[in-house]
Amino acid sequence: MRTKERNSGIAKKFRHIVLLVLFCLCLSCSMGMAESPEQPAYLHELEDLEQQYQAVVGVYAIDTETGRTIAYHEDKRFSYCSTHKALLAGAILQHFSLADLNEVIHYSADDILSYAPVTKNHISEGMTLGSLCEAAIRVSDNTAANLMMQKLGGPKVFKDCLQEIGDKTTRPVRLEPELNTRDGKKDTSTPRQLALDLQAYALGDVLTDEKKALLLDWMQGNATGDNLIRAGVPEGWQVADKSGSGAYGTRNDIAVIYPPDRKPIVLAILTTHKDRDAKTDDALVAEAAGIIVKSLRVK
The residues carrying an active-site annotation are 82, 178
* Distance (Å, whole) CA 204 – CA 225: 23
Query: Where would I find the beta strands (DSSP E) of 159-297?
Result: 188-189, 238-246, 250-258, 265-272
Distance CA(54)–CA(73), nearest Å, equals 15
Binning the chain into helix, strand and coil, the percentages to the nearest 5 are 50, 15, 35
Q: What is the CA radius of gyration of the chain?
A: 26
The pair phi, psi for residue 238, each rounded to 5°, is -95, 140
H/E stretch holding 59: strand 56-63
Other beta carbons within 10 angstroms of residue 101's beta carbon come to: 18
Q: Are 46 and 245 in contact (CB under 8 A)?
A: no
By DSSP bridging, strand 69-72 and strand 56-63 are: antiparallel
